[in-house]
Amino acid sequence: MDYMKEITLNEKDSLQDMLNLEKNIAKVYSTVMTEGVSNGFRTTVKNHWNETVEDQADVYFMMTDKGYAKVESAPETTLSEERNKFSKVKSGLA
């Protein structure tokens, strides 16, 4: 057990761990929602999913506020290209 004394997580690592956990929980709830057949069950899972994605956003925004995660805006040309790709895919589905 002596090796455990040397292992410590700093704040950034702890928040990253929490962020990853919330993302994984949201993925599991998404899968469970598609497998459930009862409206009551699906509503309960959906409510838990909503809470989880809100928690995930809270952790992410805390990380950005503390400078642990950086958000960079994409150039307008990149956004425009992606919109065009999406429009083509969307029109192909109609």
What mean pLDDT is predicted for residues 48-67?
Answer: 96
Domain that holds residue 68: 9-93
* Residue 39 counted as domain residue: yes
Residue 84 binned pLDDT confidence (cut-offs 50, 70, 90): confident
Our measurement of the distance from residue 73's CA atom to the centroid of its chain's CA atoms, rounded to an integer in Å, reads: 18
Instruction: Report yes or no: 19 and 59 within 8 Å, Cβ to Cβ.
Output: yes
Tell me the average pLDDT across 85-94: 83
For the stretch 9-24, pLDDT in tens is 799 999 999 999 999 9
Q: Residue 21 in contact with residue 60, Cβ under 8 Å?
A: no
Residue 27 lies in a domain: yes
Query: Are 33 and 42 within 8 A, CB to CB?
Result: yes
pLDDT above 70 for 69: yes
Quick check: is 1 in a domain? no
